[in-house]
Amino acid sequence: MTLKSFIARTLGGLAAAGLLAASAGTATNAKEPLAPLDPPQKVTVAYVPIMKFAAMYTAAGRGLFEKLGLDVEIERVKSGTEAIAFLTQGTIDVGGIAIVTSLWNGWSQGLDLRVIAPGALEPFENSPTKLVVRKALMDDGKIKDVADLKGLTIALAGGPGSGGEYLLAKGLQRGALTIRDVETVRMGNSDMPAAFQNGSIDAGLLGSPFADQVINGGSAATIATDLTPGLMTVAFVGSGNFVNKRPEVAERFVLALMQATRMMQKADYLSPENIKAYLSYVNSTEEAIRKGRPVIYDPNMVIPVDGLADVERVHRENGRTAYDTPIDLASVVDERFTKKALQLLGEATK
């Protein structure tokens, strides 16, 4: 073995153990991670199988949970609603779920769940999700900017109070409009290209690859993009019992997630070890993951509380919640664990 390969292998082993910040940058004030629990403690997680929870897949696939004395059982669910039900019943400890209106309504009624770590974030630029307009309407001058969408028909995949509706609301704000100023219709992303071609919709909120399809096909054009840079739309949510009665377990769970995010930065996102971990938990292919846009994971796992507050505000002001008084985010977010992990590992430069 050459000296170069020995150093590379040694550094790789340290990164896998969480002692280095990997390609996330140089950690400052790094300390030893928490000692493993003995005997190992079981943690049950329910998740929706999407890449926005890939930090957990990496932590599991690369043995980070195990090294911290955690026996993590990861179960797929069809929807975040199903995971929320399991959390409230106490049958699982953590849910990997989207932050939807039903959660806000639950929190307003004292639902004992806490956001303990962020999932992936929306891109800061060049987002694949775009607000697009039927190109004929732009060509004839009827629509020049977002304000001209008033009174027109806009399609989106999500229903009232969904993440999609929130993104649409943020796009409409650029033209001083709200969702009440337009007519929204619920339509699957895959159905929108035909709807643009036959003229049954005027605009639509589209994600990849369908946004590119209608733009490259000439039936639609982008009118607004990068609607919510850096927004957290999904999160790891812990039950009250888990975060309050088993804090030492929650600490190690979040620490493993942070270690994983630091193994997923830049080129390391597509490392063979990571791809193998991803494919163990999502229905995809290596080719699709390699060709797709990398998902963004903050190596410092800061919970964007201001962004959460904005999501709550928009849904509430749109009349999508069962309450009308702003929620105290202190009853929603528990930052103890991400802050402890950051203290242990040191801050990673981005």
Q: Quick: pLDDT tens for 25-74.
A: 434 334 458 999 999 999 999 999 999 999 999 999 999 999 999 999 99
Which amino acid is residue 307, in one-letter code?
Answer: G
Cβ 125 vs Cβ 336: under 8 Å = no
CB-side exposure of 233: number of CA atoms within 13 Å? 19
What number of other Cβ atoms are within 10 A of residue 247's Cβ?
15
The pLDDT-based confidence of 209 (bands split at 50, 70, 90) is confident
Task: Tell me how many degrees the CA angle 258-13-68 measures, rounded to the nearest 5.
Answer: 45
Nearest-angstrom CA–CA distance, 211 and 113 = 35
What tokens appear for 102 in the block? 């039903």
Cβ 223 vs Cβ 145: under 8 Å = yes
The pLDDT-based confidence of 17 (bands split at 50, 70, 90) is very low
Query: Which whole number is the average pLDDT over 315-340?
Result: 95
Q: What pLDDT shows up at residue 222? A: 96
Residues forming beta bridges with residue 237, ordered by sequence position: 95, 115
The pLDDT-based confidence of 11 (bands split at 50, 70, 90) is very low
Beta strands 113-118; 234-239: pairing state? antiparallel
Q: Do domains 21-121+231-345 and 130-225 have the same CATH topology?
A: yes
Taking 90 as the threshold, does the pLDDT of residue 127 lie above it?
A: no
Query: Which whole number is the average pLDDT over 263-267?
Result: 96
Q: How far from the centroid of its chain's Cα atoms is residue 147's Cα?
A: 29
What tokens appear for 104 in the block? 């806000």
Q: Is 2 left (phi over 0), alpha (psi -120 to 50) or beta?
A: beta
Q: What pLDDT shows up at residue 292? A: 81
Taking 60 as the threshold, does the pLDDT of residue 319 lie above it?
A: yes
Taking 60 as the threshold, does the pLDDT of residue 5 lie above it?
A: no
Q: Quick: pLDDT tens for 67-100.
A: 999 999 999 998 888 999 999 999 999 999 988 8
Taking 90 as the threshold, does the pLDDT of residue 298 lie above it?
A: yes
Name the residue ranges covered by the structural domains of the chain. 21-121+231-345, 130-225
What is the percent of the chain with per-residue pLDDT over 70, rounded to a whole number? Answer: 91
Q: What pLDDT shows up at residue 7? A: 34
Q: What pLDDT shows up at residue 32? A: 56
**Which fold does the domain 21-121+231-345 belong to in CATH?**
D-Maltodextrin-Binding Protein; domain 2 (3.40.190)
Q: Quick: pLDDT tens for 139-190.
A: 999 999 999 999 999 999 888 888 889 999 999 999 999 999 999 999 988 8
Task: Tell me how many degrees the CA angle 318-324-326 measures, rounded to the nearest 5.
Answer: 100
The pLDDT-based confidence of 350 (bands split at 50, 70, 90) is low
- What's domain 130-225's superfamily in CATH? Periplasmic binding protein-like II (3.40.190.10)
